[in-house]
Amino acid sequence: MAALDVAAVSHSYGSKPALNDVSFSIAPATFTVLLGLNGAGKTTLFSLISHLYDTRRGSIRIFGHDVSRASGEALRRVGIVFQARTLDLDLSVHQNLSYHAALHGIGGREARQRIAALLDIVDMPGRQHDKARSLSGGQMRRIEIARALLHRPSLLLLDEATVGLDIQSRAGILATIRKLVETEGIGVLWATHLIDEVDDGDHVVVLRQGELVAKGKVADVVRTSGAGSIRDAFSRLSRIEAAGTAGISP
Amino acid sequence: MPEKVAGIIPVKFEKFGLRHYLICLKGVVLRECLRFLHQRERFISSLVRPLIWLFIFAAGFRQVLGVSIIPPYKTYVLYEVYITPGLCGMILLFSGMQSSLSMVYDREMGNMRTLLVSPFPRWFLLVSKMLAGVSVSIAQVYAFLIVAWFWGVKAPPIGYLMVLPALFLSGMMLCALGMLLSSMIKQLENFAGIMNFVIFPGYFASPALYPLWRIQEASPLLHKICLANPFTYAVELIRFAFYGQIEWLSLGVVAGCTVLFLAAAIIAYDPSRGLVTRKQDTGGNG
């Protein structure tokens, strides 16, 4: 069963199309990079997957659960890190995480134990009582990742999670997420426009102005697009060529 | 069906029961209370506003505005006593709108998404948010009543208990209205305009400051507007409750409006039907 199955999804804001007939799937325990320049439709797609918007055309399934018809079951299986910072700056790290735990029906001792364990995983041990306002951008992101993992999701969505961070923080966060795929078996959809965040072994999905222009393993996308590297392929796919879908579905 | 998830051990997703719903409700209420406690200015301003009306406005108006014996009062009362229920309503009105203002802010800043991507039903999340807002409002009202008590404005002791359900229901109505308004507004700046069109007309076109019979004498049209204003009934419900009485018409109108506004807000925040998702999100650029 696919961790995420996006089938023929289209979305528009009034008369302005944002996504057009997008289809792809993500297998469990894989790292998939959703590539696209600003305005490609990545955030819209995330909003549809997380049921912030309703999917009016096409369907989205998370471990077989339709996001529109069984949103509760689908959302229990997904952890989300949004592009915009979503921590409450007036509250402490623990209060922020406890709130999220409560939103998933997790309370008391269980929540405390999970929070402590996850702060270790994201390299922020013992920072429960720090005010969110006192954290750096990279530390906030780490807390948001811990928050997204609190309810033990099977699929993790990260929308431009490293935007605005320095190179060291970016590398650290990326490494943490990749490790989670290996050790915990989580499927990851990592949206970015930064091509250096793609590894050779990753799967990629490339969006261009709301159209899916390539999907598959990095090597397959590079080969099918006739480029010499994924950087070159992304450049061609997102700026020059838009015809057809290159590559193989993961 | 067990699935491979974080923590390596397969976890079976059990169905949400009452316990999970209560944990969620408690979490939402606790967060609202913590936010309120961290924003001391908000608490102080919420207290100062009605106190200025009580200490200054009421003292001045006492000399020019006589209040005849009207239910629920059995004797002549000081003007300060008359406007206290209206000032309680004012706190609920401002607090309800402020809670909605925070929803617009949360939506702009992205915090709202953490609430809306919870697996609990959307209606439950919104009701929880409302209950959280009402809890904070009621705490503010009681803080005001304590200060008013020392100022010499005293209701029968039982009234302080009897007024609680009236405050709760009125608070729910005003929070639901605020939530509905917040769903229609895309940007925080637009909300300020709505506040002027809702709070001030709502407050002044009601018996909060002067009895309805006085308004009827002054302007029959304004009197009709007052009668069409749900806030009128919230104030009267609170006023009668202070004296251990139920004003049934007010109870019916406030309860009906609460259900109506809440249903409309739930529809507005429903991703498949609502107004909120028809507008482009500001959170990302992809």
- 8 A C-beta contact, residue B23 and residue A100: no
> Given this model, what pLDDT does residue A119 score?
93
Size of interface A-B (CB pairs under 8 A): 173
| Domain assignment present for A103 | no
Strand partners, A66: A61
B26 and chain A in contact, CB less than 8 A: yes
Confidence (pTM)? 0.83
Contacting residues of A for B283, CB less than 8 Å apart: 43, 47, 82-84
Strand partners, A187: A155
Stretches in chain B below the pLDDT threshold 70? 1-13, 63-68, 108-109, 186-192, 194-195, 272-286
| Domain assignment present for B22 | no
CB contact under 8 A, B16 and A105: yes
> Given this model, what pLDDT does residue B188 score?
65
Stretches in chain A below the pLDDT threshold 50? 240-250
Contacting residues of B for A160, CB less than 8 Å apart: 284, 286
| Domain assignment present for B115 | yes
Q: What does the alpha-carbon distance between residue B223 and residue B242 come to, in Å, rounded to a whole number?
A: 24
A238 token code pair: 């997102």
The total of structural domains in chain A comes to 1
Contacting residues of A for B16, CB less than 8 Å apart: 72, 105
| Domain assignment present for B217 | yes
Select the residue of A73, A75, A107 nearest B117 (Cβ to Cβ).
A75
Q: Which domain holds residue B49?
A: 39-271
| Domain assignment present for A176 | yes
Strand partners, A12: A17
Q: Is the peptide bond before B119 cis (omega within 30 degrees of 0)?
A: no
Select the residue of B38, B117, B273 nearest A51 (Cβ to Cβ).
B117
B6 and chain A in contact, CB less than 8 A: yes
| Domain assignment present for A51 | yes
Q: What does the alpha-carbon distance between residue A52 and residue A49 come to, in Å, rounded to a whole number?
A: 8
Q: Return phi, psi of residue A129, to 5°.
A: -95, 0
The total of structural domains in chain B comes to 1
> Given this model, what pLDDT does residue B106 score?
74
| Domain assignment present for A132 | no
At position A6, the amino acid (one-letter code) is: V
Question: How many angstroms separate the CA of residue A46 from the nearest CA in chain B?
Answer: 9
3-class state of residue B66 by DSSP = coil
CB contact under 8 A, B3 and A39: no
Per-residue pLDDT tens digits for B51-99: 888 888 877 777 666 666 777 777 777 788 888 999 999 999 988 887 7
Burial class (CB in 10 A: 0-12, 13-18, 19+), B74: exposed
> Given this model, what pLDDT does residue A250 score?
41
How far are the Cα atoms of A59, A152, B29 from residue A117, in angstroms, in the given order?
35, 12, 25
| Domain assignment present for A158 | yes
A176 token code pair: 């943490």
A158 token code pair: 């990260």
| Domain assignment present for A106 | no
| Domain assignment present for B10 | no
CB contact under 8 A, B286 and A102: no
Contacting residues of B for A46, CB less than 8 Å apart: 284, 286
Residue A228, domain CATH:
3.40.50.300
Quick one: which H or E segment has residue B15? none
At position B224, the amino acid (one-letter code) is: K
CB contact under 8 A, A83 and B116: no
Q: Report the chain A residue with the minimal C-alpha distance to residue B284.
A: A43
CB contact under 8 A, A73 and B11: no
The candidate with the shortest Cα–Cα distance to B6, out of A62, A103, A183, is: A183
Residues in chain A: 250
Burial class (CB in 10 A: 0-12, 13-18, 19+), A56: middle
Question: How many angstroms separate the CA of residue A84 from the nearest CA in chain B?
Answer: 6
| Domain assignment present for B32 | no
ipTM: 0.84
Contacting residues of B for A54, CB less than 8 Å apart: 271-273, 277
Contacting residues of A for B27, CB less than 8 Å apart: 98-99, 101-103, 107
Q: Which domain holds residue A56?
A: 4-86+152-240
Alpha helices in B186-243 (DSSP H): 188-204, 212-218, 220-227, 230-242
B58 token code pair: 């009421």
Is the dihedral angle over the CA atoms A165, A169, A171, A175 positive or is it negative?
negative
B27 and chain A in contact, CB less than 8 A: yes
Per-residue pLDDT tens digits for A152-165: 999 999 998 888 78
3-class state of residue A185 by DSSP = coil
Is the dihedral angle over the CA atoms A37, A39, A43, A46 positive or is it negative?
negative
The candidate with the shortest Cα–Cα distance to A27, out of A8, A1, A62, A50, is: A1
Q: Report the chain A residue with the minimal C-alpha distance to residue B25.
A: A102
The candidate with the shortest Cα–Cα distance to B80, out of B150, B164, B167, is: B150
How far are the Cα atoms of B167, B183, B236, B247 from residue B71, in angstroms, in the given order?
19, 38, 10, 10
At position B120, the amino acid (one-letter code) is: F
Contacting residues of A for B273, CB less than 8 Å apart: 54
| Domain assignment present for B64 | yes
The candidate with the shortest Cα–Cα distance to B137, out of B190, B191, B180, B100, is: B100
B246 and chain A in contact, CB less than 8 A: no
Best mutation target, A35, A86, A140, to test chain B (most B CBs within 10 A)? A86
- 8 A C-beta contact, residue A111 and residue B20: no
Contacting residues of B for A186, CB less than 8 Å apart: 5-6
| Domain assignment present for A227 | yes
> Given this model, what pLDDT does residue B276 score?
52
In B, residues 133-162, which contact A (CB 8 Å cutoff)?
none
The candidate with the shortest Cα–Cα distance to B144, out of B160, B165, B156, is: B160
| Domain assignment present for A82 | yes
The candidate with the shortest Cα–Cα distance to A225, out of A211, A206, A209, A210, is: A206
